Amino acid sequence: MKTMKNIKFSAVLIVLLYIMFSSGGCTNIHQTPDGVVVAFIVASEKRDMTRAWNNLSPELQAHYNSQGEKMRKSGKGALENEIARITKFRTVKKDYTIQIDGANGSVINLVNNSGTVQKVETVAIDGDYKIKDLNSLKNLLDGITAEAKSKDGY
């Protein structure tokens, strides 16, 4: 059962990446605001902390670095601890959609089936987009989390 879900997720991901790459030539996924959000979601679901980290702005990385030893006592960094709390992810298209905000192209809206909108601000840095700030990351994590473990103390 778990393998079938992985195959379905992989198939959807491959189609999404194919569409993104074929519509703009050989474009880096990080060169669009929605691309960086998709890249972060995929990295989070795969628990790939290096790739997830690379999707954060320097301001957001500095915030997580400031968590310091308090968070690292568990053997993980602050971002990894937040993502590790997620036990089940929502499914794109089935549970939410990713839309570029009409008023501000650097804002991505995660719209869930109930109509709730989570706004994720991005910022362009050296030709690539990054997730801008802590509020945006919290909105993104809230938008993609179906179930999470209660927060453990560090």
pLDDT at 105 over 90: yes
Verdict on whether the full-model pTM lies above 0.75 = yes
Q: Does domain 2-148 have CATH number 3.40.50?
A: no
* Per-residue DSSP letter, 123: E
Q: Distance between CA 109 and CA 10 in Å, rounded?
A: 23
Query: Domains of the chain: which residue ranges?
Result: 2-148
User: What residues have CB less than 8 Å from 77, skipping those under 6 apart?
Assistant: 49, 64, 67, 71
Residue 37: pLDDT band with limits 50, 70, 90: very high
What pLDDT digit, counting tens, does each position of 61-98 carry?
A: 998 888 865 655 555 788 888 899 999 999 988 999 99
* Percentage, residues of the chain above pLDDT 90: 58
Interval 121-135: pLDDT, tens? 999 999 999 999 999
The per-residue pLDDT for 153 is 46
Using a pLDDT cut of 70, give the percent of the chain over it: 74
Task: Decide if 112 contacts 90 (C-beta within 8 A).
Answer: yes
Report how far residue 54's alpha carbon sits from residue 125's, in angstroms, rounded to the nearest whole number.
Answer: 12
Predicted local distance difference test score (pLDDT) of residue 124? 96
